[in-house]
Structure 1
Amino acid sequence: MTLDRRSFLRIAGGLTGAISCTPWLLADAPEQSGEFAADVAIIGGSLGGCAAAIAALRRGLTVVMSEETDWIGGQLTSQIVPPDEHAQIETRGANASYRKFRRDIRAYYRDHYPLTDAAKSQTNLNPGGGSVSRLCHEPRVALAVLTEMLAPYQNSGKLTLLLEHVPVQADMQGDRISSVTVRSLNKGSEQTLTAPYFIDATELGDLLPLTGTEYVTGAEAKADTEELHAADVAAPANQQAFTVCFPLQFVAGKDFVGDRPADYDFWRDYVPALTPPWSGKLLDLSYSSPRDLKPKKLGFDPTGAATPGSLNLWLYRRILNTANFLPGSFAGSATLVNWPQNDYVLGNLIDVSEAEKQKHIHQAKQLSLSLFYWLQTECPRSDGGAGFAGLRLLPEMTGTTDGMAKYPYIRESRRIIAETRITELHVGAEQRSVITGQSGKQLKAKSFADSVGVGSYHIDLHPSSGGDNYIDFASLPFQIPLGAMIPRRIENLIPACKNIGTTHLTNGCYRLHPVEWGIGEAAGCLVSFALEKKETPRGIRSAPDKLADFQRSLTAEGFELAWS
């Protein structure tokens, strides 16, 4: 099912002078139930799912991809989180396609936005100037770029995209998936997807329980993983916080204060019950510093004034800086709120009833709405006053009516029980030092002979539903082993996101944007290679000559398989 190309851009009323995009490639849901057959079915249009689709399509395969929301792109778009990346991302430590994707985002701003001459001349333009990343940008721009990348394949009929569809059933033949049924959230119609291979690119690993693929959740026990920082007792329901993110704009001299959120009194006085203890109330500019868990003061001031805290949260994830655009283009700068203050720890979204899942999403949204109201009315100011009434939500930026993200920001998924389980012993700096007796420049993460990519990020676990405070410690630049992408039993299911064979701890460094892209791209290439060679992924990994051929094909397409 394809659509003729419609206008790629439209002028939107929301932000003063802003240009926003409406994606045209996204397919309308079929009116009636039916069947789609392809070389690969990708369940979930996450960032990893998009990378998998692009890789498979680039290699000549046909693809059908479903997505729960009406935006593809996952954490960059429907979850509106600008990329978290390592310091060397501009030149190394990611696939060539990911760096091209980043260049395309910058080019989109140059081509479509009213940038100043100074901003246009910046090779490594950072549109928002946020400190969390060298590329802080609006979610709709990432959506536009992904849309453009996939457009030729949908117009040629190689790609079928089913938006607002969720998987509801899988049919199995022994250890193989024969079909997956997805249901339209709007119309209730069902589509049966058949393919030789299925990629789980959902945010929560939703295909794993439907297919009977063995998986784990939450925290493993130290006796099981032998990890230095692991829990003494396994706790499958002890999962990282998720967050309903939202963007804010500040317009000086305006008053946008509205009604108090329904649950504001609860969240204003809420103190997280964590061990070690949190710094105090959640809605406060103090928090527990992730590395040592001592109370730490943060700052917040959207006016440009200096803040007393060590970090001005307004600048941290700023995704639109008016200084980069011609005067009058925007009413004010905008920042993305994904902070300790709106991390939700009162329940999980995995392996609970649909009613409980929706309850927790609703409560997490109430937390974010309460944080917004607190910033408008009670947040301490450097002049001794309270609140910034000129803050407003940006529904035109999120594509929602309430200005909240379409989907919660997910940090932890179901994880397959894989042929290779990546543990702290492989990537944790402290534990690697003990194991190897090395330190300094000699200290390296474990080298995997079956590497299909690289990444780098510290092990970063946010407070959890089981009552853990931050778990945050150093890791080493690492590889993505193919064995972590192959389930121990199911033959034709490949993970493409945070659902690979990590542990609760190592998920904390494998969950970020460039790594998820690398996992997804490897998944798409693996399916193509398996079909071409008429071999299973397990067979490719276990045969040295086939594995070497596969890795050579990845290198030829711009994959980095090792850190030099």
Structure 2
Amino acid sequence: MKKIANIIAALLAGAAILGSTACSTTTRRTVDVLVIGGTTSGTSAAIAAARQGVSTLVVEPTPMLGGMLTAQGVSAIDGNDQLPSGLWNEFREALRRHYGGARALATGWVSATQFEPHVADSIFKAMAAAEPTLEVIHGYRLEAVRMKERTVTGASFLDKRGHRLEVEARTTIDATDLGEALPMSGTPYRVGMDARALTGEALAPEEANDIVQDLTVVAILKDYGEGADRTIPRPEGYDPAEFEGCCVSGGREMTPEYMLRYGRLPGGKYMINWPTKGNDCYLNVVELPWEERIEALRPAREKTLRFIYYIQTELGFRNLGIADDEFATEDGLAYLPYHREGRRLDGVVRLTLDDVAARYDRPTALYRTGVSVGDYPVDHHHACYPGGMEKIPFPPVPSFSIPAGVMIPAATEQLLVADKAISVSNLINGSTRLQPVVLLTGQAAGTLAALAVKSGCTPREVPVRSLQRALLEQKAYIAPTYDVRPDDPDFGLLQRIAATGILRLTGEPFHWANRSWFYPEEGITVGEFTRGLKDYAPQIDVEESDTPLTAAAAAGLLRRAGGTIDTPADGDRPLTRRETARMVEEALHPFDRDIDFEGNPINL
């Protein structure tokens, strides 16, 4: 009997093992480029890499592609309305086709481009499906990063059922909101506000702290028609006093109807992402493990539900209910919170507020290494920090470029970072975190990863100018030229010359859409030209002269700079900046000289 009992026990144990194996499987993939997260940057990175012809896999925990724009519900674009660059422009044009033109997207007053999250998701999925070398896998979250010494070799992922996905990759991109791969790979990073001594920013605190920006769990409300009552059950802990004063913006009172029009979307919907006595929430969950983070975020979801109930009952919009065709979550809210800030990489360079505010007066010329662009002012959300926090008096800034080196870790190899976790200071993160900037940075990261794979090198070994040329071929901006757009016949030329600094841009802080002007049809002085040319050719003397630059004078200076060019027959004619750029290109081909990540010319 004892022997039979032992046999039965052994059989049961074996059955348990087989059952466990049957329920928990491991899938393996080997690809050229792995993108961790189908976020805003992850989606663009994957599409950009695949379009370079390399095998690419993007792994995303939610059912949607697009991150902030879809799964997080922030479907009102902040910034870059006048910078139609690369995949951002391609995405916006697809939205316009879907809804019937640009005016159909200008439904709310916060943005000229507003849309339903599920529509953006369908556009991104169609773009991804059009790439034969791109695979998308949903439902898996990052579990671990695979390493060989200081080199990332891939990652492993886990789904809710315990199934594992193991991916081996030649280059990996961390496109997660919070920089999830950084601690797993031992890559140095920072969380919170930087110390003044680290970044040199006068507005930074004297000592570093762990304060991050407020986050928001976004809701999409839908108008169910006059007479409809879609009031949700009264949330636990609801007190209308929590949201009193919500109909105020910038110190100006408004009607509830006007407040809601802030995020009015096509399709009779409203995005609820309202900072003033609304559903912003302070929670620092960055370093929490996944399971603990989900639970820790519950107060933010509950706050949004309380705000919805306030809108329905106190403000009288019972006809506005949680949209039933956007997010398949238990509460109907966005899949993930809108994190404005998480981990920030220690990269080969760090972009600071000062680099943006005074790009031509810095020890490094990071503007020369631009790979994506933005025009949004510095915007931080700290109103919900416990005990209050003094408002930071941010200075006005011009439009700006994101440097190539912010995507590359200082030490870790075969890892690139996109989205909000790039190597920037806490302060300037308030501008670099916006959706179009992040999308374009993802495009640059995917392009860089593919170039590294095709060249058989690490991302840091890809020449900066090679990456920039590849982006220009995609009609992506490397310099934020407000008045030179992709349909300009000299777009590539003027972008290249702007990125050398020989002809400098004129920055202009302008409301919520800052500008940098090339002024292609305006004249240029001898003083301006010699100032920019000296950075390329140190033998040039800067002439403090307001004399208009003529073709003859330009030819003479270009020859002195080492170029080869004949003096035009009409040498006495004053040049426009466009004509000057053409002469610079003909004589020097300055963009052919590579630069390092700080913008210094190589092989002078």
Q: TM-score, normalised by structure 1?
A: 0.76
**Coordinate RMSD, CA, aligned:** 2.3
Please give the residue correspondences for 1:55-94 in structure 2 after superposition, counting only pairs within 5 Å.
55-86=48-79, 89-90=81-82, 93-94=83-84
Q: How many Å apart are 1:548 and its aligned residue? A: 2.2
Residue of structure 2 in register with 1:190 after alignment: 164
Q: CA deviation at 1:288?
A: 7.3
Partner in structure 1 of residue 246 of structure 2: 285
- The verdict on how the C-alpha distance between 1:63 and 1:421 changes in structure 2, with shifts beyond 3 A counting, is same
Query: Which position in structure 1 is the counterpart of 2:455?
Result: 533
Of residues 390-399 and 452-461 in structure 1, the stretch that sits farther from structure 2 once superposed is: 390-399
2:506 is equivalent to residue 506 of structure 1: no
- Offset, 1:557: 1.6
Equivalences for 1:50-449 in 2 at 5 Å?
50-86=43-79, 89-90=81-82, 93-110=83-100, 123-127=101-105, 129-153=107-131, 156=132, 158-185=133-160, 187-236=161-210, 238-250=211-223, 251-265=225-239, 268-270=240-242, 282-285=243-246, 289=250, 295-301=251-257, 312-320=258-266, 333-340=268-275, 341-354=277-290, 356-379=292-315, 387-428=316-357, 432=358, 448-449=367-368
AA of the residue aligned to 2:143: V
* Cα separation, partners in 2 of 1:133 and 1:363, compared to 1, 3 Å: same
- CA deviation after TM superposition for structure 1 residue 348, in Å: 1.4
The whole-number CA distance in structure 2 between the counterparts of 1:214 and 1:460 is 25
Structure 1: distance between partners of 2:201 and 2:26: 48
Amino acid at match of 1:527: A
Over 3 Å counting, the alpha-carbon distance change for 1:288 and 1:97 in structure 2 is closer
Q: Which amino acid aligns with 1:560?
A: Y
2:341/2:429 contact within 8 Å kept: yes
Q: Aligned partners of 1:94, 1:419: CA distance in 2, in Å? A: 28
- Change in Cα spacing, 1:261 to 1:150, as seen in structure 2 (3 Å) is same
Partner Cα distance (1:418, 1:469) in 2: 29
Matched residue pairs, number? 453
* Counterparts in 2 of 1:218 and 1:287: CA distance versus 1, 3 Å: farther
The 1:258/1:79 distance shift into structure 2, 3 A limit, reads closer
**1:492–1:241 CA distance, 2 compared to 1 (3 A):** same
The answer as to whether partners of 1:171 and 1:211 remain within 8 angstroms in 2 is yes
Give the Cα–Cα distance (whole angstroms) in 1 for the partners of residues 109 and 238 of structure 2. Answer: 30
Whichever residue aligns with residue 284 of structure 1, its letter is G
Aligned residue in 2 for 1:383? none
Kept after mapping to 2: 8 A contact 1:418/1:485: yes
Contact kept, 8 Å, 2:230 with 2:321, in 1: the verdict is yes
Alpha-carbon offset, residue 396 of structure 1: 1.5
CA distance in 1 between counterparts of 2:69 and 2:391 reads 23
Paired AA for residue 265 in structure 2:
I
Q: Does the C-alpha gap of structure 1 residues 94 and 482 become closer, same or farther in structure 2, counting only changes over 3 Å?
A: farther
TM superposition shift of 1:269: 4.1
Q: How far is 1:461 from its partner?
A: 0.5
CA distances 1:453-490 after superposition (whole Å, capped 9, x unpaired): 21111000001646436546322211110111111000
* Cα pair 2:215 2:282 within 8 Å, conserved: no
Partner SS for 1:358: helix
Q: Which structure carries more helix by proportion?
A: 2
Q: Which residue of 2 aligns with 1:324?
A: none
Q: Using the alignment, how far apart are the partners of 2:464 and 2:317 within structure 1?
A: 57
TM-score by length of structure 2 reads: 0.71
Larger radius of gyration: 2
Greater RCO (CA < 8 Å, at least 6 residues apart): 1
Shift of 1:222: 1.7
Match of 2:98, as an amino acid? Answer: Y
Give the drift of 1:228: 2.6
Counterpart CA distance in 2 for 1:356 and 1:73 is: 24
Secondary structure at the residue paired with 1:527? helix
Which residue number in structure 2 is paired with residue 482 of structure 1?
404
Q: Which runs of 5+ in 2 are unaligned?
A: 1-22, 482-517, 519-604
Superposed displacement of residue 401, structure 1: 4.1
Structure 2 match to 1:548:
465
Check conservation: 1:165, 1:183, Cα contact below 8 A: yes
Percent identical across equivalent pairs?
Answer: 30
Letter in 2 for 1:336: M
**Do the aligned partners of 1:261 and 1:370 also contact (CA within 8 Å) in 2?**
yes
Q: Contact 2:32–2:56 at 8 Å: present in 1 too?
A: yes
Amino acid at match of 1:134: A
1:168-209 CA-partner distances (Å, limit 9, x unpaired) = 112211110123110012x21111110111000111111111
Deviation at 1:252?
Answer: 2.2
Letter in 1 for 2:81: I
- Partner secondary structure for residue 264 of structure 1: coil
Distance in 2 between residues matched to 1:215 and 1:462, nearest whole Å:
21
Deviation, 1:436, is 5.1
Does the CA contact (< 8 Å) of 2:77 and 2:113 recur in 1?
no
* Bigger mean CA offset, 495-504 vs 95-104: 95-104
Stretches of structure 1 that go unaligned for 5 or more consecutive residues are: 1-29, 111-122, 271-281, 290-294, 302-311, 322-332, 380-386, 438-444, 541-545
- SS of corresponding position for 1:524: helix
Judge which range, 100-109 or 187-196, deviates more.
100-109
